[in-house]
Amino acid sequence: TTETAKQKLLSTLALTKKLFLVDLTRASMFRSLPRTLLSRRLFARRALSTTNPVATFKTSMGTFKAEIFEDQMPITSANFIDLAETGFYEGLHFHRVIPSFMLQFGCPNSKDPKSQMCGTGGPEAGSKFQSGDKTIVREGGTIPDEFEAKISNMPGTLSMANTGRPNSGGSQFFINTAPNKYLDFFDPSTPSKHPVFGKVIEGMETVSAIESVPTAYDNPIEPVKMIKITIETSE
């Protein structure tokens, strides 16, 4: 009958709408990378396949891993790896946390998480590290700017902090938690120049948890400590 046909049509339309909403949900899950289980699995697959070193960050709030772009950023990567392997970062705290922006870390003065000197320190002046067959000297406790690989400051990337002056990066870096393309050294719209040297490939939920802690003047009220950073290589 006509009424039966009409009911079948309405049922079909309802089912189609339901399937469409399911597809939208799946698309939304994919767009929300890297904060979903799906993204963590994709990140984990990449971690298993990379030939670059992988850094494991063990913090008081959990663990996350990052690929270090040694193939594209050899000097900056070697500086970070040297500091990690010599224990420089152990016992330091995230001293600057700004939601929907970034988490900053790596100042030796942050061993006291409430020190007013947090954010001002770096490696020992004159200290050295190896980058391939080159010996790099940290003149004044800083390293040369490495403006080579055009990798954008996107969520999950590790980027060098600096004072805004040339060659002023040292031990401090930040993890982007939002698209911060205006920080790219190759973006002419701003004077900011922060080269990316790595990206979180596992444990982004830990990064998100740190991003969400209560702060006072951008400093976590409950200190977030770096227990240890270990480096794994494919060799």
Catalytic residues: 96, 101, 104, 162, 174, 183, 194
With CA atoms as reference, report the closest residue to 156 among 197, 200, 210.
200
Q: How far apart are CA 102 and CA 77, in angstroms?
A: 20
